[in-house]
Amino acid sequence: MITHRAFFGTAEHDFTLTDDMITELERLTETGIGAFYQRAVSMLFKSDDLAQVIRLGLIGSGMHPLKAMQLVDTYARNRPMAETFPLALDILDARWNGTADPAIGDTAA
């Protein structure tokens, strides 16, 4: 799976960087996804990068773009980067490395 689920704002949300959202992220940042991911992991991101990852992750999961923008403007912009960086990195990591499939569960008895 490439979807990350996390609390953001006032509720749990899904965040998915689909191929189209990655293309948009690359356009907005003028950076390929590999270099962008490397830059984020190395904490060499631009100030708006975190908000863009969160916004595009919400849109990629099916949220209307206007609602996604409103949530990001309210809960990601003008906040400490220590609050937004972990979420943005988790969203990127879900696309880069995948996430555990909750349908599989723990089979240990």
Separation of CA 82 from chain center = 15
| CA 106 – CA 109 distance, rounded (Å) | 8
pLDDT value at residue 102 = 58
pLDDT tens digits for range 24-61: 999 999 999 999 999 999 999 998 999 999 999 999 99
pLDDT value at residue 99 = 86
Can you tell me the mean pLDDT for 87-95? 96
pLDDT tens digits for range 95-108: 999 987 655 443 33
Q: What is the 3-state secondary structure (H, E, C) of the chain?
A: CCEEEEEECCEEEEEECCHHHHHHHHHHHCCCHHHHHHHHHCCCCCCCHHHHHHHHHHHHCCCCHHHHHHHHHHHCCCCCHHHHHHHHHHHHHHHHHCCCCCCCCCCCC
> Which two three-digit tokens encode residue 107?
């089979």
